[in-house]
Chain A
Amino acid sequence: MLREKYAQEIAAILARYPVKRSAVLPLLYLVQREYGYCTEEGIREVADIVGVSPTQVRGVVGFYSLFYDRPIGRHLIQICDDLPCALRGADELVAHAARRLGVRPGETTPDGRFTLETVMCIGACHRAPAMQVDLEFVENVTPEVFDQVIADLSRDGT
């Protein structure tokens, strides 16, 4: 239960807003941190904490691209293949990443380690092609850089 485990953090989040419902997004991030994705249980907990219906929270999960309603890999690789990055080799990078990980975009490696996604512009067009790994920027990504990132993540055993 989030409420017990993260009591202080939840209280701090709620304190930021005069209306509890505003805490839905921050609390869903908390759910993803705890469960890996937005589980049904987590959604109901959030609904309960902020006092809205679970349907209303579930709708939010479906609307925003950074919330996941299914389990994803331990590491989320999001490669931008939007126009500015694609003008500088993003499509080739995606193809390379898919080959390297052995999955298509949207899929998770069989070992559950990596989920590969293509995403829309992430605001790194000046250092394209770019990607985010667990929402941290990795920029000017060449195939070598990509392989290095994957190697580093694989090495630390997570």
Chain B
Amino acid sequence: MGRYILLRHREIPDLHRLEVYVRHGGYEAWRKALTAMTPEQVIEEVKAAGLRGRGGAGFPTGLKWSFVPKDVFPKYVVVNADESEPGTFKDRELMEGNPHQVIEGALLAAYAIRAERVYIYVRGEYRSVARRLEAALAEAYPAGFIGRDVLGSGYSVEVAVHLGAGAYICGEETALLESLEGKIGHPRVRPPFPATYGLYGKPTVVNNVETLANVPPIIARGAAWYRTMGTEKSPGPKIFCLSGRVRRPGNYEAELGKITFRDLIFGEEYGQGLLGEGRSVKAILPAGASAPMLPASALDTPLDYESVQAAGSMLGSASVIVLDDTVDIVWAAYKMVRFFQHESCGKCTPCREGTYWLRRVYERLVAGRGRPKDPELLESIARQMAGKNLCPLGDFATSPVLSSLRHFRQEYEAYLRAAAEVAAPAGGR
């Protein structure tokens, strides 16, 4: 067994080819489930493994599957490959390098809930990634792993790739389903949840790419083995996306809770430290733009769901963006606010209007035209938005604002001092 559970292509050349994948144990879990396990047993195994969703929310995967009604057909599995969080590129690598493991995981999910179709919803910008998946499907179909009466089990399942078209909001599962139905990606009112009312109003499981890539090893080797990795509450391996002001950005696979931010950023087998000489970490974004930034004091926080939450943020998709002491925090917050303003779907008033308003205030701040009360205004707008929207995007948008104000208010004040100096004529009054 190699170092990797998920990024196995790093050790096995050409793993994206079916023949190589099968030679290295690929589709054995699939065969095992179809021939020796009931769908309920598959769910129980995943439950026992303690696998939690890797898309960001960390919801227990087996539990999610168990919510699906047994007697309603048809049912669907949708793979959320709309990876769009700034700083996140792990699903891309998995689909490019190890596509069959993702597909195998999706097939297992389909079998577990007795779905007849799987859609892999890939963000529109990942057209080249989608081609990789399609090539993998084109090999897996004739090999009998997908299609009618798979491996003689009597179970039939179809898998298709569906390309999005540029909308971060479609990473939200109900917006994704709307999009997959050919509509604009507005999140739905919940309840009902996708487990009972999903794609085309039918029971549907939506799982992240990385989540599903964990499933074949769980089924092949068992929950007990899986639980030897990670922590009690956050078992298993996780891919950490590292980007920003580090020497060696990239995807790193490690057990949950076994490394810290410091390990990830400075470790020899990870980020190998900051760019340039003599720099220090100013802030860490643990989950792209969506979770509150943490100051350097959080560097020794272990990377698991509970610990990062205890430190005041969220592990989310584990997309760690590193800001060093050269980075202007107000500018960084502005970049993130701009992102959310661009991606707000517009459905809910607070998110639609709030992100726009935040952006306008940031624009004047970074342009040196800030007003003395702008920090309070930003904080107030963000608080007014929080907790009032259908989906989490509106709350995400407040993260960079509130967390930067909490930890780096002095940088805002510096902007305001500069603005005041410009506004006051030389010599003053």
Contact = CB atoms under 8 A, between A and B. Distances in A.
Complex A–B touching at CB under 8 A: yes
Interface of A: 16, 18-19, 21-26, 28-29, 50, 52, 56, 59-60, 62-67, 82-84, 86-88, 119-128, 132, 135-137
Interface stretch (B17-25, B142-150, B221-229, B241-249): B241-249
B84 A121 contact: yes
A120 B45 CA distance: 39
A75 to B, nearest CB: 15
Contacts of A18: 74, 117, 200
Contact of B343 (A24, A62, A120, A122): A120
B126 A87 contact: no
Contact of B242 (A24, A26, A126): A126
A125 B335 CA distance: 14
7 contacts: A16-B162, A22-B181, A25-B165, A25-B182, A52-B182, A63-B185, A66-B125
A72 B323 CA distance: 36
Interface residues of B, number: 54
B54 interface: no
Contacts of A60: 165, 182-184
A135 B241 contact: no
Nearest to A21: B182
Given A25-B165, A59-B184, 7 more contacts: A21-B181, A64-B166, A83-B244, A83-B332, A121-B84, A121-B86, A124-B89
Given A21-B182, A24-B182, A123 B128 contact: no
A22 B199 CA distance: 10
A127 B92 CA distance: 13
B287 interface: no
B160 to A, nearest CB: 5
A67 B196 CA distance: 32
Contact of B160 (A16, A64, A67): A16
Interface in B171-188: 179-185
A81 B73 CA distance: 45
A137 B125 CA distance: 9
A26 B335 contact: no
Nearest to B89: A123
A87 B323 contact: yes
Nearest to B335: A83
Contacts of A84: 86-87, 243-244, 321
A139 B259 CA distance: 28
B295 interface: no
Contacts of A136: 127-128
B123 interface: yes
B164 interface: yes
B323 A135 contact: no
A27 to B, nearest CB: 9
A83 B165 contact: no
B35 to A, nearest CB: 28
Interface string B67-111: 000000010000000011111110010000000000000000000
Contacts of B88: 121, 123, 125
A25 B164 contact: yes
Central interface residue in A52, A63, A136, by most chain B CB within 10 Å: A63
Contacts of B200: 18-19
B336 interface: yes
B250 A87 contact: no
Contact of B167 (A28, A63, A122): A63
A29 B164 CA distance: 10
Nearest to B179: A25
B244 A87 contact: yes
B339 A121 contact: yes
B167 A83 contact: no
Given A125-B87, A126-B243, A64 B167 contact: yes
A57 to B, nearest CB: 8
A89 to B, nearest CB: 11
A137 B323 CA distance: 25
Nearest to B169: A63
Interface in B213-263: 241-245, 249-251
Nearest to B346: A63
B173 to A, nearest CB: 16
Contact of A125 (B86, B125, B167): B86
Contacts of B124: 64, 66, 135
B168 interface: yes
Contact of A135 (B84, B125, B243, B289): B125
Nearest to B74: A18
A58 to B, nearest CB: 10
A125 B339 contact: no
Contacts of A82: 86, 335, 339
The listed residue with most A CB atoms (<10 A of its CB), out of B84, B117, B184, B327, is B184
